[in-house]
Amino acid sequence: MTLAMQRSFEELGAPLHQVPFCILDLETTGGSPADSAITEIGAVKYQGGELVGTFQTLVNPGMPIPPFITILTGITHAMVVEAPPIDEALPAFLEFLGDAVIVGHNVRFDLSFLNAAAMGLGYGRLPNRSVDTLGLARRLIRREVRNFKLETLAAHFRSPEKPTHRALDDAQATAWVLHRLLERAGTMGVTALEDLLQLPTARGSAHYAKLRLTDHLPRRPGVYLFRDRQGEVFYVGKAKNLRTRVRSYFYGDNRRSVATMLAELESIDFRVCATELEAEVTELRLIHAHRPRHNRRSKPPKASHWVKVTDERFPRLSLVRTQKENGLAYLGPFRSRRSAELVQTALWDAVPVRRCTTRPGSREAACAFAQLGVARCPCDGTMTEDEYQQVVEQLLSGITEDPALLLDPLAAKMTQLAGQERYEEAAWARDRYRALARSIRRRRAWQSMIQAGVVWAVDDEGNGAVIDHGRLVGSWSEGGSPPLLHPEDDRPWPETPPSVAAAEEAHLVWSWMTRPGTRLLDAFGPLGLPVHRIPDPVLLS
């Protein structure tokens, strides 16, 4: 037998006045459930500040009660000898508890005994959420009281019930303290269960007062924008639950970057999204639009870079910042020149394509690359176009059709270097392999989406998306309807994304489309990949 799962209270977003609280206290024979047992259970249940139930019972612990416990609590062996044992008392208490949130003063102590008893009887651990008035007091009134004992807090809040080390009396005193603490928390913007559960870990700084800026945030997926005093967006983030995610910055996040952001924070905007995919794409677009200074890792580059196969008598590889129609093939775009150079080097390692830029036939002797045998360069005029065409065909076929033509030589080089125990060089070859494979994979995905045109798809959770040539143009959540969409004009599309922003969005969309459980509903054109797969070598660890 196991206990039912704790209800979510609308994913913990329920207002506090709607949440049932069971305030409890236990008396025991000692300090650990390993060698002690429960002697008394006392509890009161409140909802909306109103008492809805009371529970009290002595429990036969099945062991002697130590004299110092009797002196402390007044509970003697004679009082519990005819009391129900825990296997009779606990089921009755669990029925009283229901799905209420458990509250106690140093509640971990009480839960340790309750969970030990529940597991011993085959119920499993209690699934109920818990709130500790000790932790709340430390967070809310740490400068008002000399200590955080229940007796001190009850006196501070002038509780009509005095703690007596008897379970029901202490539970009633704890309930009074809880409600006074909830009043304090309410002035700080704590109005829902999730806020209360997080409150004890909240950062004790001046920035916590800014928690009120989150009051208007909904508990829905979307994107949030942090603005400073000048109204400038300095951070953009996404969330499954906007309110929960943004408020988490105030709850125990000690990163220096978070403290800096909270110091600058003046207002919060948000965009509600129908699905997580829409939130990811919206976040990406807003980052590229605003270039927020605190989105350092995802901050868009100032320029895009491509590796281009030039269209000339003897084609070569060139790094360019624009994609035009004067190239035989492109790979990219890349966020940095260094990333583009890594792929260029991988292609040089895979195919002996020309490296020098000297006019063919203008040198008396071959260039250094040709002399080393790493490239077939026509600079000395001894190579014909027909001979060089074999190199070009291998290069273009590897990019557009069969990646193994380019990747297998890199894998062989990794194996050779590793066999020679040149592990650092083997790691460099591995990195070049991965960079080239990734760029070819993304190029393939882009061209597949361009060929398909407009695509309607839905995932296993019922969330759908409309993708127009690699760009998200519509979405709907479970139970919604796909939006209507008119096809765009027949303008030519580039063979790779026109910018880093377009490439990153296309990658997000493609990753979602190819995720297990996502299925295609309709498309304007065929959606598929080339027959030849991208090989996965063994030496990639």
* 318 within 8 A of 326, measured Cβ to Cβ: no
Distance, in Å, from the CA atom of 226 to the CA atom of 236, rounded to the nearest integer, reads 6
Q: Is the pLDDT of residue 204 over 60?
A: no
**For 282-315, what is each residue's pLDDT tens digit?**
999 999 999 999 998 777 888 899 999 999 999 9
**For 348-399, what is each residue's pLDDT tens digit?**
999 999 998 888 877 878 888 888 888 888 888 888 889 899 999 999 999 9
| Among candidate residues 143, 130, 113, 244, the one with its CA nearest the CA of residue 178 | 130
Assess whether 165 carries a catalytic annotation.
yes
pLDDT for position 202: 66
Mean pLDDT of 202-231: 83
Q: Is the pLDDT of residue 4 over 50?
A: no
Mean pLDDT of 500-509: 95
Q: Which residues contact 337 (CB under 8 A, 6 or more apart)?
A: 305, 319
| Residue 1 pLDDT grade (very low, low, confident, very high; cuts 50, 70, 90) | very low
pLDDT for position 486: 60
Least confident of 327-336, 385-394, 531-540: 531-540
Averaged pLDDT score across all residues of the chain: 90
Domains of the chain: 16-194 (3.30.420.10), 202-290 (3.40.1440.10), 306-441 (no CATH), 447-523 (no CATH)
Mean pLDDT of 393-406: 95
CB atoms within 10 A of CB 228: 16
Distance, in Å, from the CA atom of 437 to the CA atom of 20, rounded to the nearest integer, reads 56
**For 115-124, what is each residue's pLDDT tens digit?**
999 999 999 9
* 3-class DSSP string for 127-194: CCCEEEHHHHHHHHCCCCCCCCCHHHHHHHCCCCCCCCCCHHHHHHHHHHHHHHHHHHHHCCCCCEHH
Residue 241 backbone phi and psi in degrees, to 5? -135, 105
Query: Is pLDDT larger for residue 125 or for residue 250?
Result: 125
Region for 415 from its dihedrals, namely left if φ exceeds 0, alpha if ψ lies in -120 to 50, beta otherwise: alpha
Task: Classify 221 as helix, strand or coil.
Answer: coil
Length of the chain: 541
Tell me the two tokens of residue 191.
């109005």
Q: Is the pLDDT of residue 521 over 80?
A: yes
Residue 237 backbone phi and psi in degrees, to 5? -145, 165
Q: Is the pLDDT of residue 10 over 70?
A: no
Q: Is the pLDDT of residue 433 over 50?
A: yes
pLDDT for position 530: 81
Q: Among 165, 207, 290, 294, which one carries the catalytic annotation?
A: 165
Give yes or no for a cis peptide into 333 (omega within 30° of 0): yes
Query: Is pLDDT larger for residue 92 or for residue 301?
Result: 92
Task: Classify 347 as helix, strand or coil.
Answer: helix
Query: Is pLDDT larger for residue 539 or for residue 532?
Result: 532
**For 156-190, what is each residue's pLDDT tens digit?**
999 999 999 999 999 999 999 999 999 988 887 78
* 275 within 8 A of 281, measured Cβ to Cβ: no
Tell me the two tokens of residue 105.
């003063």
Task: Name the DSSP letter for residue 60.
Answer: B
pLDDT for position 142: 87
pLDDT for position 206: 55
| Residue 539 pLDDT grade (very low, low, confident, very high; cuts 50, 70, 90) | very low
Mean pLDDT of 127-133: 95
What percent of the chain shows pLDDT beyond 90? Answer: 70
The DSSP string of 237-295 is EEESSHHHHHHGGGSS---HHHHHHHHH--EEEEEE-SSHHHHHHHHHHHHHHH--TT-
| Among candidate residues 374, 385, 386, the one with its CA nearest the CA of residue 347 | 374
